Chains A and B, each alone.
Chain A
């Protein structure tokens, strides 16, 4: 090969191009390479030091959930034809991926009740920030009004992004577990670029989404002829797609842009990623959306086909004037999402939602009956519920772990907000049966009682 190139040594190819001053003069200080079997054994040993949701009775949620992933999702996403190509720059040989994107967009549009959806963004919290950027491009205002019911990661991500594009974030507090409607209305004035809430919110409560949207559009920002005029802020909802068989869709509720974490739809936990972010909107925002969009067209013989479309929004065409910098997103994860939704089907998504609703309601009744445990709020809950414990939560969780139960997320440890001290967030998926919930109630009850006893004893000055 060197003879064909016309150089005596491989080293010369580098010497002629890379200045000696910046050439690494030693080997990389990394462990020696291993054969396939040894790598497998090493990775297996590491993985065995993790307790997965198969190893304990887990009620962890707060953004990612242990829903059942059907086997056909694995089988289809592992196919070379979906797994190993890249972005469909050559549509004639990428019809499978493009059609999957088109179907995914259709499914997300149906779920959200909004007419246009893109082919995915990275994941949930950064999707919120991407939607806020759309609002900035749309109306040029500087203020993002955000319900404190958003996931703390979403608020933190939004703050990071907003500092870059020079916007301020104003947080609206909750009242009895949901966005305080008075504070919400007050916060939304003519400076508001977007009004952002979560449905259901981080604490599991179902918000009155229609009322929040209407209030945002009727606020001081709305000076258009019909009240909800062109000057109203963009209403953005962070939604949980698995609840949308039961909960009123964002479209029905007057939401302009719906975003959310797609992981509950057929994606595995993967210690937090990769998953996908969904992004849907009203038609008027189509040309400001971030990311890839698949569109339908015909070939020279009139056959139906699909292409990436509206690319003049995108970074590779529009460069510094692009609506986003996103390039590679989450095509394979979105494929898992649409396969899952096809598997769940039109009736299944409603049935599953009803089951989650009933079991979560049952879990709240059961857990709230424990001495020293109060529900954080009395709002409807659909797949997650928040409790306040009158006991050292970290110690309670440790006690539960000894019994093989992970009772849920310590919200204060997650978001570092003082009002969340002692708050436990419990997620109920279809994989957690009534028996599992009863077991949680028993273990949590014992742990809280033991902790309260220990605390009382130590207050009396007796060593625990």
Chain B
């Protein structure tokens, strides 16, 4: 495109808030000094004082608003369009949740308020614990972890505590199994928790390779971390046998809850044989994703793991009231301790609880059924459009709530990569699916439509993919040069990493 053809957003050059404003300009008016003035050095000795103030922006309120509203328009968001980002469950965020989370009794409640004067919050957490236990099919819940990866860390540390307790100071297992399809957080967590990662192969049907599992499952194995349905969007048909093998060597079975949206009310991790589950409240229980958080990652566990849960837990007293239970004064508390400050991301609990109360048990089951229906419908529509020839389903025939296509044939026959397809989708007004994951699928494209999309949207997306492939057959350069209509065009990520500029240089 020539400069004359630029969109208005493309003509704007990015300037940060630090490049705006003028000396002396401001928004904040400091409350007056209403206490007797005291000599500055008496308040704080000179040697403890900062010499130069931090070079924060000098801007007025209207400038701040215009600046951030302006840059916000350079974002694509879920409220504006289809966002089928696999493994991320980008479902609609009801605005009621924002309203109830903002009630002063929630938003302005101090975490150290006395239990007697925070009964509503504790009751909400108690009710949420109960609902999550029922959904997971595991009786004990800690709401504390801050996000899915934090829940994973909790789970692996619980596994460690469980084995150390059983081992009685003797030799304890030192390995954790993760399939090659696992989310990257799984192996990263294993390392952080002091274990060695052992990779499991995937069989021809996309499930755990049972032979490989049998060969590697020995008494050195502490845990198997599994996502089910897995990152290929497939429910492992051998899950019962997998659980037997893992439990047979004394290891725990960990459920990565990133894909729970496929199975709520359909199949429960506890009933599948899992010992520990993490939830991603921001995924299955619809929290706004915030551009990359906040999330919330509660865990549910079986009886044998429960003694090790982090503290505090919400407990019900005999009089029906609620309290935070720190396990203090209880002989031989085996808790792994604390994973963060206070009690977890309560603001996320409010939203998740509102969601669960809105839908009820039947409604949550409907959610998973509709999510699976939508994914299978989109998969079938893509086949109808002739897309399967270039983007075949990597494994299986049907899928759960998401599916993974391979862009290998597309690359070979049309000379465009999955990245090119993704970038061209931006020009069609869609957020692309997750790309290049899972790693074992060539040129992978992972599509998760969620239950809150209409049939019309799914049709339009399928048509866009077909149109891009058709366009590429005529001229692959178009996709290779995409996107054309976004605020910036394809960015040089290699240069960014080679010579990192990660803050504004200030005069």
Chain A residue contacts of B1, Cβ below 8 A: 301
Question: Is A292 located at the chain interface by the 8 A CB criterion?
Answer: yes
Q: With A309-B502, A328-B148 known to touch, is A51 a contact of B79 (CB < 8 Å)? A: no
Which chain B residues numbered 461 to 507 have a C-beta less than 8 Å away from chain A?
481, 483, 486-493, 495-497, 500-504, 506
Q: Tell me if B111 and A17 are in contact (CB < 8 A).
A: no
Q: Tell me if B43 and A357 are in contact (CB < 8 A).
A: yes
**Which of A52-60, A180-188, A218-226 forms part of the interface with chain B?**
A52-60
Which of A17, A79, A245, A297 has the largest count of B CB atoms less than 10 A from its CB? A17
Q: Tell me if B239 and A19 are in contact (CB < 8 A).
A: yes
Q: How far is the CA of A248 from the CA of B46 in the complex (A)?
A: 9
Q: Tell me if A16 and B398 are in contact (CB < 8 A).
A: yes
Name A110's closest neighbour in chain B (CB-CB). B54
Chain B residue contacts of A125, Cβ below 8 A: 338, 340-341
Q: Tell me if A307 and B271 are in contact (CB < 8 A).
A: no
Q: Tell me if A22 and B104 are in contact (CB < 8 A).
A: no
Which chain B residues numbered 146 to 181 have a C-beta less than 8 Å away from chain A?
146-150, 152-153, 156-157, 160
CB distance from B327 to the nearest CB of A (A): 10
Question: Is B460 located at the chain interface by the 8 A CB criterion?
Answer: no
- 18 A-B contact pairs sorted by A residue (CB < 8 Å): A22-B271, A43-B100, A50-B120, A79-B69, A90-B423, A105-B502, A163-B337, A210-B47, A247-B49, A252-B51, A315-B187, A322-B184, A325-B149, A330-B290, A339-B64, A345-B27, A347-B53, A430-B31
Name A124's closest neighbour in chain B (CB-CB). B341
CB distance from B104 to the nearest CB of A (A): 5
Q: How far is the CA of A397 from the CA of B354 in the complex (A)?
A: 33
Name B295's closest neighbour in chain A (CB-CB). A328
Q: Tell me if A345 and B57 are in contact (CB < 8 A).
A: yes
Which chain B residues numbered 398 to 450 have a C-beta less than 8 Å away from chain A?
398, 400, 422-423, 426, 431-432, 434, 437
Q: Tell me if A296 and B292 are in contact (CB < 8 A).
A: no
- Which of A33, A246, A307 touches B491 (beta carbons < 8 Å)? A307
Q: How far is the CA of A278 from the CA of B296 in the complex (A)?
A: 18
Question: Is A299 located at the chain interface by the 8 A CB criterion?
Answer: yes
Name B369's closest neighbour in chain A (CB-CB). A10
Q: Tell me if A270 and B109 are in contact (CB < 8 A).
A: yes
Question: Is A392 located at the chain interface by the 8 A CB criterion?
Answer: no
Q: Tell me if A6 and B380 are in contact (CB < 8 A).
A: yes
Q: With A85-B289, A351-B30 known to touch, is A54 a contact of B108 (CB < 8 Å)? A: yes
Q: Tell me if A76 and B337 are in contact (CB < 8 A).
A: no
CB distance from A343 to the nearest CB of B (A): 5
Q: With A79-B72, A106-B503 known to touch, is A164 a contact of B384 (CB < 8 Å)? A: no
Question: Is A64 located at the chain interface by the 8 A CB criterion?
Answer: yes
Chain A residue contacts of B131, Cβ below 8 A: 30
Q: Tell me if B65 and A153 are in contact (CB < 8 A).
A: no
**Which of B189-197, B213-221, B246-254, B299-307 forms part of the interface with chain A?**
B189-197
Q: How far is the CA of A378 from the CA of B31 in the complex (A)?
A: 27
Q: With A40-B99, A50-B117, A328-B282 known to touch, is A89 a contact of B153 (CB < 8 Å)? A: no
Q: How far is the CA of A89 from the CA of B328 in the complex (A)?
A: 44
